[in-house]
Homo-oligomer: A and B are copies of this chain.
Amino acid sequence: MASPGPVHAFVPGHVTVFFAPRFRDDPARTGSIGAGLTLADGVVVGVEPSDETSVTLNGERVSMAPVERALAALGTPAGVHAETPLPPGAGFGVSGAVTLGAALAANHATGAARSENDLVRAAHVAEVESNTGLGDVVAQARGGLPIRLEAGAPPHGALDGIPTAARVEYVSFGDRSTSDVLTGDTVALAAAGERALAALREAPTLDRLFALGGRFAREADLLSPPVATAIEAVEATGGTATMAMLGETVVALDDGLSAAGYDASACRTHPAGATLRLAPESP
């Protein structure tokens, strides 16, 4: 191979701003339409050879069903070590990121010679089958500010993007189960998500994305008191904020949360999708 040495995958965080689920018989065609932001705060994933898949997250042994499913489907079991500054279960796509990163790193480490689309599809299908996510993986494979036009993994899904970049802040007030919401009644949520997507496509800008996110969260009845309070506080200081789907998390443009008095994390949107990082980094 061209580059010896340790191999890691980096997968950006992903915040969905609005969405509508799409359930089909084929998990590769199941997913969600919607839009969001990928974040430079993400997950670094390394692997070591192993006959059985295990996962550590920030040094602690965890059980992550989609990682086990994806690596089993690819025939590349591995010891997976993931590090992230993002809180799990808070709407940042951590499970999708670990799954996609593990697929990329294990493919490289084992010489399995799959294509990127193959790896993205395996990670997406594993998330769908585990009820842990519907749209994070394809967004995280793309990067930028992804618009999910049609649900599903390659070659079924279709993506577009908002051609910009931004500085954002985020704060989380706890976790929320993706599985609980996605297995509940999603009719009103889906209708709100479809309206938001149609409106975004008329003028795909950052300001409109955030405005549609606030409307979607209200229409889909997903706002909890701390999230609603934080969004109002940011808007009261002239800022722009919305909720991360599905988590007890608020994302604001620029310094909107710290200006409103919150102790928030700051990062930029990420210009790239998931990638392998081969050492050494510089030529």
Tell me the A residues contacting B by CB distance below 8 Å.
1-3, 104, 107-108, 113-117, 119, 143-144, 147, 154-155, 158, 160-167, 201, 203-207, 253-254, 266-268, 271-273, 275-278, 282-283
Contacts of A113 in B (CB 8 A): 203-205
Residue of B108, B205, B266 near A163 (CB, 8 A) is B108
Beyond the given pairs A163-B276, A164-B278, 12 more chain A to chain B contacts, judged by CB atoms under 8 angstroms and listed by A's residue number, are: A2-B253, A3-B166, A3-B167, A108-B163, A113-B203, A115-B147, A115-B204, A117-B160, A143-B272, A271-B272, A271-B275, A272-B275
What is the CA–CA distance of A155 and B201 in the complex, to the nearest angstrom? 14
CB closest residue in chain B, given A154: B160
What chain B residues lie within 8 Å of A158 (beta carbons)? 155
B165 and A278 form a contact (CB under 8 A): yes
Residues of B within 8 A of A104 (CB): 163
**Do A165 and B115 touch (CB < 8 A)?**
no
When the two chains form their complex, are residues B144 and A1 in contact, meaning their CB atoms are under 8 A apart? no
**A165 close to B116 (CB less than 8 A):** no
Decide if B114 touches A1 in the complex (CB within 8 Å): no
Chain B CB count within 10 A is highest, among A108, A163, A253, for A163
* Residues of chain B within 8 A of A167, CB atoms compared: 2-3, 283
| Inter-subunit contact A107/B163 (CB<8 Å) | yes
Tell me the bound Cα distance from A160 to B141 in angstroms: 11
